[in-house]
Chains A and B, each alone.
Chain A
Amino acid sequence: MTIGEIIGIWVAAGLTLMMFSFIYRDNAFFKLGEHLYLGISVGYFVNIQYWQVLVPDVYRAIKVNHDFLALIPSILGIFILLRLIPSLAWLSRMSFAFYIGGFAGLAIPNVLHGYFLPQLFETLRPFDAGWAGNLNQLVILLGVFTVIIFFFFSLEHKNVVGGISRVGLFFIMVSFGASFGYTVMARISLLVGRFQFLIDDWIMGVIFRQGG
């Protein structure tokens, strides 16, 4: 292991503990870490910006490929940045209108074709999967129907409709429960990941000099 790596791991471990100090309470170390993180990440994004957008899409396109059409979006892009100057902020609307409008148009048929129709198609499929499969499909049909009723705002939730929407709410709760369990899992995974770093790389790897 090189000196560089050892220093790096010590720094990383220190920063990890600094962020963990938030558990105790919001303190200066955490704030320091948070601001450091912000600065580092913005510095990183600027690089990504430069190497992955300006160089290939603007510089290379114009200088190497002589593709002067790329000048138009570049100018529109500069308009976007003018939003920071109040008197010229209105120029940015042009650029936003261009791509937000265009993507709105792109989204309608694509979302219908790629998401809405396949999901609807699958819901309406004929029952042909054996009795267990059919039963499951019936449950799905019921679930989709009642959940849509729950999010249907043109009918008062009374009597039958109320009952149906309550079934829908129950489906939603089961789904949210699943999502709840999974979210807990995600957060713990991250903690496990950090502890793996602290124990394997820092304590075992650097302090006790064991392993690779």
Chain B
Amino acid sequence: MLFFKRQWPIIVAFVCGIVMWARYYIPTEQSQTLQDEFVRWARILFGFAAMLGILSLLHHHWNKIKFKRPGYGFSWITLVAFVIMALTGLLPISWQWIGFAESFRDLDGPHMYLFEYMFVPMQATMFSVLAFFIASAGFRAFRARSVEATALLVAGCIIMIGRVPVGDLITSGWTASIGGTDYSILPFAQVTDWLLNIPNAAAQRGIILGVILSQIAIAVRIIFGIERTYMGGGD
């Protein structure tokens, strides 16, 4: 039993990993079929893995209510909203009464109505709140504490101006004529382009090459059974 709990998953990971890796270099039809079938299975597995997240979240809120943990009232809201949203989509309900009918195609019904008027505004607002905090942090916390932070802030400000229409306006607004050609005094747009396309691309490439190496390292660790975090705790 212990063999199936501990060694067996490692063997499975090793075999799957090596096979999927080696098949890449083999161009036959069977090798392609192998990958297609694996990918199809994986798709179904991904679906179930996503369900795991949903179930554990519901479980968490259910427990909160059951043991009357602080703030359990809010968990009721989550559960009720979940049930309504789920049922409207799973059951063949559609808007039958006048007034609601024309706003959505019959295919959608109340499910898409809730999506449009509740899910979308709340998710969209969640992160837009940060705009206020960024502005306040601009005053209160973004400081040029060191040379590095200064470089960062200067580049950031150039991008912020150069990547909106104001930057174009400044660039084309103030020009000086040298030898018949107009040169911009404050070429925000050009400097922004250069910053993004050259130094930024270089730094990102350096980082990416490193990240790819670490991705490969992790993949190798998983295949050879050295990295086992995916197995979870317990024996």
Q: Indicate yes or no for A touching B, C-beta below 8 A.
A: yes
Interface residues of A (CB under 8 A from B): 2-5, 8-9, 11-13, 15-16, 19-20, 22-23, 31-47, 49-54, 57-58, 69-70, 72-74, 76-78, 80-81, 83-84, 86, 89-90, 92-112, 115-116, 119-120, 123, 136, 139-148, 150-151, 168-178, 180-182, 184-185, 187-188, 190-191, 193-194, 197
Q: How far apart are the CA atoms of A67 and B113 in the complex, in Å?
A: 36
Does B58 interact with chain A (Cβ within 8 Å)?
Answer: yes
By the criterion CB–CB under 8 Å, are A46 and B43 in contact? no
Does B185 interact with chain A (Cβ within 8 Å)?
Answer: no
Does B80 interact with chain A (Cβ within 8 Å)?
Answer: yes
> How far is the CB of A81 from the nearest CB of chain B, in Å?
6
Checking A15, A23, A31, A110 against B118 with a beta-carbon cut-off of 8 angstroms, the contacting residue is A15
B contacts with A, residue count (CB < 8 A): 128
Known interface pairs A15-B125, A140-B205, A173-B152. Does A57 touch B44 (Cβ–Cβ under 8 Å)? Answer: yes
By the criterion CB–CB under 8 Å, are B51 and A98 in contact? no
Does B10 interact with chain A (Cβ within 8 Å)?
Answer: yes
Known interface pairs A50-B90, A102-B42, A170-B148. Does A57 touch B223 (Cβ–Cβ under 8 Å)? Answer: no
Checking B38, B129, B202 against A147 with a beta-carbon cut-off of 8 angstroms, the contacting residue is B202
The interface residues of chain A lying within 8 Å CB-to-CB of B55 are 81, 84
By the criterion CB–CB under 8 Å, are A44 and B156 in contact? no
Interface residues of B (CB under 8 A from A): 4-5, 8-10, 12-22, 24-25, 35, 37-38, 40-52, 54-59, 71, 74-75, 77-86, 88-90, 95, 99-103, 111, 113-134, 148-149, 151-160, 163-164, 195-210, 212, 215-216, 218-220, 222-223, 230-232, 234-235
Q: How far apart are the CA atoms of A136 and B19 in the complex, in Å?
A: 42
Q: How far apart are the CA atoms of A86 and B234 in the complex, in Å?
A: 9
Q: Apart from A4-B95, A140-B205, what are 5 other A-B pairs with CB-CB below 8 Å?
A: A93-B8, A99-B45, A101-B222, A106-B35, A194-B121
The interface residues of chain B lying within 8 Å CB-to-CB of A193 are 124, 128
Q: Which 5 A-B pairs have the closest CB atoms?
A: A43-B85, A143-B202, A177-B155, A39-B81, A147-B206
By the criterion CB–CB under 8 Å, are A111 and B77 in contact? no
By the criterion CB–CB under 8 Å, are A4 and B100 in contact? yes
By the criterion CB–CB under 8 Å, are B16 and A98 in contact? yes
- Among the interface residues B12, B154, B210, which one has the most CB atoms of the partner chain A within 10 A? B12
> How far is the CB of A187 from the nearest CB of chain B, in Å?
4
By the criterion CB–CB under 8 Å, are A181 and B156 in contact? yes
Known interface pairs A39-B79, A78-B48. Does A15 touch B122 (Cβ–Cβ under 8 Å)? Answer: yes
- Among the interface residues A31, A148, A150, A175, which one has the most CB atoms of the partner chain B within 10 A? A175
By the criterion CB–CB under 8 Å, are A177 and B54 in contact? no
Q: How far apart are the CA atoms of A5 and B40 in the complex, in Å?
A: 40
Checking A12, A37, A142, A177 against B153 with a beta-carbon cut-off of 8 angstroms, the contacting residue is A177
By the criterion CB–CB under 8 Å, are B223 and A105 in contact? yes
The interface residues of chain B lying within 8 Å CB-to-CB of A8 are 103, 113, 116-117
By the criterion CB–CB under 8 Å, are B59 and A84 in contact? yes
Known interface pairs A38-B57, A92-B232. Does A74 touch B13 (Cβ–Cβ under 8 Å)? Answer: no
> How far is the CB of A18 from the nearest CB of chain B, in Å?
8
By the criterion CB–CB under 8 Å, are A109 and B208 in contact? no
> How far is the CB of B10 from the nearest CB of chain A, in Å?
7
Checking A46, A49, A72, A144 against B205 with a beta-carbon cut-off of 8 angstroms, the contacting residue is A144
Q: How far apart are the CA atoms of A96 and B232 in the complex, in Å?
A: 10
By the criterion CB–CB under 8 Å, are B198 and A104 in contact? no
Known interface pairs A120-B209, A185-B164. Does A174 touch B199 (Cβ–Cβ under 8 Å)? Answer: yes
Known interface pairs A148-B209, A184-B134, A187-B130. Does A109 touch B24 (Cβ–Cβ under 8 Å)? Answer: yes
By the criterion CB–CB under 8 Å, are B210 and A151 in contact? yes
Q: How far apart are the CA atoms of A120 and B223 in the complex, in Å?
A: 25
The interface residues of chain A lying within 8 Å CB-to-CB of B35 are 106
By the criterion CB–CB under 8 Å, are A44 and B103 in contact? no
Q: How far apart are the CA atoms of A120 and B151 in the complex, in Å?
A: 27
> How far is the CB of B128 from the nearest CB of chain A, in Å?
4
The interface residues of chain A lying within 8 Å CB-to-CB of B223 are 101, 104-105
